[in-house]
């Protein structure tokens, strides 16, 4: 009888522990990247689709930066995995579009990290300028936690 208490403790921990990590790498929430850009991602539906908004810290233009819509898709909504995803930002203040693709990782400290690559396509007036219309880069995002968490 005395041994049942530790057994039950271990059993309950084993049952509860996965739920601690279950929330990891669901993209919903607020994120900041290495440039200081912020994005907010809404609910991810059963098919992995999501929408949100992006506030870039930088621009390739001289235009005033405005918050822009994003639409994306997360692969494999099995919450225990480290899923791949992609999203598109249709810039409200320029004629450009950026596509991001990446993967969510849980690092050794338990922190979620989005490792992404992006292509930024800017509009050019002439086909002869097509060669200089696309930029490529990487961004690393971490989650912005609310005060309550």
Q: Least Å distance between CB 57 and ligand BTN?
A: 6
Nearby residues of 106 by Cβ (< 8 Å), 6 or more positions away: 21, 24, 25, 82, 112, 113
CA atoms of 105 and 76, how far apart (whole Å) = 14
Strand partners, 72: 50, 87
Q: How many residues bind ligand BTN (CB under 6 A)?
A: 17
CA atoms of 79 and 20, how far apart (whole Å) = 11
Residues 118-137 touching ligand BTN, rule: CB under 6 A, are 118, 120, 122, 137
CA atoms of 45 and 71, how far apart (whole Å) = 12
> E strands, the chain, where?
29-33, 38-41, 49-55, 68-74, 84-90, 97-106, 112-121, 134-144
With CB under 6 A as the contact rule, the residue among 50, 85, 87, 91 that binds ligand BTN is: 91
- Tell me if 90 contacts ligand BTN by CB under 6 A: no
With CB under 6 A as the contact rule, the residue among 61, 84, 92, 134 that binds ligand BTN is: 61
Nearer to ligand BTN, 45 or 90 (CB): 90
Q: Least Å distance between CB 98 and ligand BTN?
A: 4
What mask of x and - would describe binding to ligand BTN in positions 21 to 60, judged by CB under 6 A?
------------x-x-x------------------x-xxx
- Tell me if 94 contacts ligand BTN by CB under 6 A: yes
- Per the listing, tokens 């992404």 go with 116
Q: Least Å distance between CB 119 and ligand BTN?
A: 9
């Amino acid at each position: 009888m005395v041994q049942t208490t530790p057994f039950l403790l271990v059993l309950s921990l084993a049952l509860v522990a996965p739920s601690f990590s279950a929330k990891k790498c669901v993209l919903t929430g607020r994120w900041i990247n290495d440039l200081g850009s912020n994005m907010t991602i809404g609910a991810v539906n059963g098919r992995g689709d999501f929408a949100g908004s992006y506030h870039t810290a930088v621009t390739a233009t001289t235009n005033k930066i405005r918050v822009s819509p994003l639409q994306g898709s997360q692969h494999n909504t099995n919450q225990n995995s480290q899923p791949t995803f992609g999203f598109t930002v249709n810039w409200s203040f320029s004629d450009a579009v950026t596509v991001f693709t990446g993967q969510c990782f849980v690092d050794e400290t338990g922190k979620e990290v989005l490792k992404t690559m992006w292509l930024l396509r800017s509009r050019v007036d002439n086909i002869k300028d097509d060669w200089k219309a696309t930029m490529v880069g990487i961004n690393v995002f971490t989650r912005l936690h609310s005060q309550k968490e």
